Structure 1
C-alpha cells in the first residue's frame, strides 16, 4: 500500500477506536452518578413494586456491561432511545436542535476563518511592528477570557447600554434569514472572539516559519514584493498547520457551544444538554455527549487527512 492511503487508513482506524473509547467513558460517567435514577424519577414515596417496574423498563436491572452493549448496539442502528422527560425519541430531539447549532457554528466560522487568516498574514507581513504587537495582545486577551465572561460583556455593551442587539437569541423556522442572523450575531461574535485568536496565531507562526526558508530568501534577492512572497510562496507551504488549526477550531465551534447557548438561551444542542442534565434525562445526555465526541473526533481525523494531502513531505511518508 502506498504511503498516503496507509496514513489515511491509520487515521480512520484511530478515529473509530477513539470514538469507541469515548462512548465507554460517557456510559461510565453516567453510571457513576450518585443516587438511584428510578427513585429520583418516581420520588421517595414510590412502592417497591413500582421501582422494580421502572428499573425493568429503564433496563437498570441488567448488568452495566449488558446495558452498555445494548445502548451501543442501538446507537449503531440509529436508535438513541427515548427521552425520560418528554417520552419522545431522542433522535427527534437532536434533529430539531442540530440545525440550530450548525447554523450558529457556520455563522461564526464564516466570520472567524477569513478574519483570522487575514490578521495572521498581516501580522507576519509586519512582524514585530505595532500592528503585530497589538494583534498579539488582543489575541492573548481573548484567549485568557472564558466564553461566558465574553458573552456577558457583549450583552452589557451591545444589548443593555447601546440596545443594538437582543439579549436572547431566540430563533424559529418562521423567521427570515436576515432576522436570524441579526438575533444570532452576539453568540456568533462570542464564538468568533474565542477561536480567532488561536487561528490567527497559528497562521502567523506558520507563515513566519516558512519565511525563514532558503527559497524565500532567493525570492527576496530577486526583488519579489513582500506581499507576493507571502501570498504566492509562503502561504501555500504553510497550509498544512493552518488547515489543521482551522479544522480543530471548527470542531470547537460545534462542541464548545454549550456555555454560549446557555448564556443566550439559544435553542441548540448545548442548551438541550444543559436542560437534560438539569432533569437527569440520561438518554439525551448520552446522545448529545456522543454526538459532540463524534464531531470532534471526525474533524480531528479530517484535519490530519487534509494535512497529509496538503504536505508533499507527509505524502511521501
Structure 2
C-alpha cells in the first residue's frame, strides 16, 4: 500500500479525532468560566474565614486587598486561567502555600482509589453484562436486571453507611476510617481500601454491566450473528471473536462514563471514610472558601472526565471500519 493510500485511509479518522480534541478544549474553557463564576457566588470569602467573626470590616478589607479578592472578576479570571494553562493554579488563601503542592500530596491517593475500584469493577461488570446478554429473557437475565437496578438505585452514602454498620460495627472486620500507613503491609493496605473500593464498585458494576448488556444485545441481533450460528460457531467463540470486537465502541464509551463516575462518587466516599484524597480536599476548600484550591480541584475532575470521554471517542472512531477506511 502506497504512502498516499495510507494517508488517505487515515485522513478521515484523524480529522474526526482532531475535531473531538477541539471540542474538548472548548468545553474545558467553558467549564472553567462556570467553575470560576459559581465559586465566586459562594457566601463569604477566605479573608472572613481566616480572620473569624470577630474581625473588623477594616481588617477584612485589608486582607481581601492583600489576597487580591477586591479586584474585578474578569481580571481575576484571566490571571487564574493563565496560571492554570502553565500549571500554576495559584496560592492557597488559607494554607498560604502553592495549590500545586497541596494537590500533589492528595492526587496520588485519589488515583490509587480510582484505579483499585476500576480493577475490581471491570471484571464483575463484564461478567454480569455478558451473562445477562447471553441469557436474555431467561431467569438469570431477570435476576441480574433486578440486582443491577437495585445497585444503581442505591446512593453512595447509603451504601457506605450500610457497609460501615455491617463490616465495622457489627463484624469488626474493617476500620470505619480509611487511613493508610506510610509503609503498609499487604493486610493493612487491603483493610484500609476495602470499604471505599467496595462502595465505589457497587455503582460502577451496576451501570457498566447494564450498558455492556445493551451493547452486546444490539450486536446479537445483527444478521452476521445469525449467519455465524447457522455455520455452527459456538456461543463462546461467537461472543469473544465476533460480538465483543464489533461492540468495542459502545463498550469503551460505557467504560469511560462509568470510570468518570468514580471521581464523582469519590467526593462522598472520601468524605464518609475520611480518606485523604482530592475529593475531600475540595470539600474542605468549599468550607474554608479557599477559591484557588477549590477551582483547581474542580478543573482536575472536569478535565479527567473530558479526557476519558475523548479517549473513548478516539477508540470508537478507530474501531469503526468505515472511519478507518476514510
44-53 or 212-221, larger mean C-alpha shift: 44-53
Q: Deviations over 1:43-89 (max 9, x none)?
A: 45445553343122211222110000011111112212222222121
Per-residue CA deviations over 1:25-45 (Å, capped at 9, x if unaligned) read 111011212335434432454
Give 1:149-188 correspondences, 5 Å limit. 149-188=158-197
CA distance in 2 between counterparts of 1:314 and 1:204 reads 25
Q: Distance in 2 between matches of 1:60 and 1:25?
A: 18
1: distance between equivalents of 2:44 and 2:177? 35
Partner of 1:246, secondary structure, is: helix
**Residues 44 and 185 (structure 1), Cα distance of their counterparts in 2 relative to 1, 3 Å cut:** closer
Q: 1:15 to 1:172 in 2, by over 3 A?
A: farther
Structure 2 length-normalised TM: 0.92
Given candidates 101, 113, 130, the residue that maps to 1:104 is 113
Name the CA shift for 1:217/1:285 in 2 (closer, same or farther; >3 Å): same
Please say if residues 67 and 93 of structure 2, whose CA atoms lie closer than 8 Å, have aligned partners that are also in contact.
no
Structure 1 position 8 matched with structure 2 position 17: yes
Report the count of equivalent residues.
Answer: 317
Matched ranges for 1:25-104 at <5 A: 25-35=34-44, 37-47=46-56, 49-104=58-113
**Pairing 1:278–2:277 present:** no
- Closer/same/farther in 2, CA of residues 229 and 75 from structure 1, 3 Å limit: same
Residues 180-217 of structure 1, C-alpha deviations (whole Å, 9 max, x = no match): 22211111011111011111111111111111111111
Describe the superposition over 1:259-309 as per-residue Cα deviations: whole angstroms up to 9, x where unpaired: 011111111011111122122222211111111111111111111111111
Pairwise CA distance, 1:250: 1.4
Q: 2:101 aligns to what SS in structure 1?
A: helix
Q: Mapping of 1:108-257 within 5 angstroms?
A: 108-257=117-266
| SS of the residue 2:88 aligns to | coil
> Higher mean Cα deviation, 13-22 or 159-168?
159-168
Give the structure-1-normalised TM-score. 0.95
Picking from 302, 309, 316, the partner of 1:307 is 316
How much is the aligned-residue C-alpha RMSD, in angstroms?
A: 1.7
